[in-house]
Amino acid sequence: MEAASNPFDRATGRVRGSLNMLDIQRKVEWVQVSGKWTRMSIMGLSLSPENLVRENKGESEDRIIIFMIPGNPGNDGLYSDFGRRVIRNLIGREERLGDRKIQFIFYTVSNLNHVLLPPELRGSSTHRVTDRFSLGEQVQHKLDFVKEYLPRGQRVYMLGHGMGAYMLLSILPYIKDDFHLRKAVCLFPAIERISETPNGIRLRKFISTLTTNDWLAKSLSFWIDLLPESTKKNIINMKLTPDQSYPELVDSITELLHMHVFRNVLHLFNDELEKINNLDENLLFHKDLIYFYYGLNDGWCPIAQGEKMQEKLARGHVIFDKTACESSFVFRDSTTMAEQVLQFIV
């Protein structure tokens, strides 16, 4: 149950104030990004065609666009609860200021092949369901998506989670001048020396073995594929608390258990461990736009990295979590992170 200061009834969707959580729409769509089918999610109070046009609307422009680049695994559905809560909090803030004229629209996109291609799309794409994609290909995919689909709103804020922070900083120089980009916010950033982090040390041999021996990864996940979807969901629900087990999260975790998705997640992890080493200072070129949010006990981005980052950026650009929130916040701490993100969107 959520804190009394932020009540929310999952059965009714009712929250404090006038806004109903269920009023925040979510549109899920498969789109082609440079010829590769990709699943994206869009959330907002109104998802009319007028609100989703890519072009800036000039003097009538009233949209603030928030773009979320996922971590690994990168399933857009994992961020559905977080995205809704961010929008709800932003609208609540505007209501307290006596203004509801701004349209907040939250975009997120899945990593390539981190969601299984629907059967009807498998013959009409430049990639196959069995393909594994590298870190560089996933970075290019996010750049292509931004250029092809993201609206040029009144203001644009971009968030990168975990390894998604690396992607965000990598594409920043190529998009900065095309959008009214205010901030690039890196949440629990996995952008340097990943193989030397506690989780990297613990998992690198296991991940490398499964990636090198693809037949082994297929064998491990093949048996899970044989389970009925209902059985998978029941097992997942058993592992989640009542507050966590909302349908979109359960569906997203279920999607990750497919053999070809599992192989892609492992492949990307291995690529991160091999390629993200010493900090690439070029990632910090646009220091005025970049903000970091570090956890206090994070297995992928130790606090020592955040302390060193403080020396590189201006005061206030490196924030340390004070809520005991975990880097995997989409599973258990969406409420907390949706409140923390507000400080960056102004």
pTM of the model: 0.90
Q: What is the pLDDT of residues 51-106, one digit of tens each?
A: 899 888 887 888 999 999 999 999 999 999 999 999 999 998 888 877 667 899 99
Domain containing 314 — which CATH number?
Answer: 3.40.50.1820
Enter the tokens of residue 44: 């907002």
Q: What distance in Å separates the CA atoms of residue 339 and residue 345, rounded to the nearest whole number?
A: 11
**What pLDDT was estimated at residue 5?**
44
Count of structural domains within the chain: 1
Residue 160 lies in a domain: yes
**What pLDDT was estimated at residue 75?**
97
Q: Are 176 and 86 in contact (CB under 8 A)?
A: no
Maximal CA-CA distance, the chain:
59
Domain containing residue 192: 11-49+59-203+278-344
Residue 196 lies in a domain: yes
Residue 316 lies in a domain: yes
DSSP output for 276-327: --S--GGGGS-TTTEEEEE-SS-SSS-HHHHHHHHTTS-TTSEEE-SS---T
Residue 221 lies in a domain: no
Q: How far is CA 232 from CA 32, 78, 255, 263, in A?
A: 29, 17, 10, 18
Residue 117 lies in a domain: yes
Coil, strand, or helix at residue 156? strand
Residue 158 lies in a domain: yes
Q: What distance in Å separates the CA atoms of residue 162 and residue 178, rounded to the nearest whole number?
A: 25
Q: What distance in Å separates the CA atoms of residue 67 and residue 157, rounded to the nearest whole number?
A: 6
Q: How far is CA 163 from CA 197, 220, 265, 292, 307, in A?
A: 13, 25, 12, 13, 19
Residue 148 lies in a domain: yes
Q: Are 179 and 152 in contact (CB under 8 A)?
A: yes
Residue 243 lies in a domain: no
Q: What is the pLDDT of residues 294-326, one digit of tens each?
A: 998 889 999 999 999 999 999 999 999 999 898
CA angle 44, 73, 107 (to 5 degrees): 15
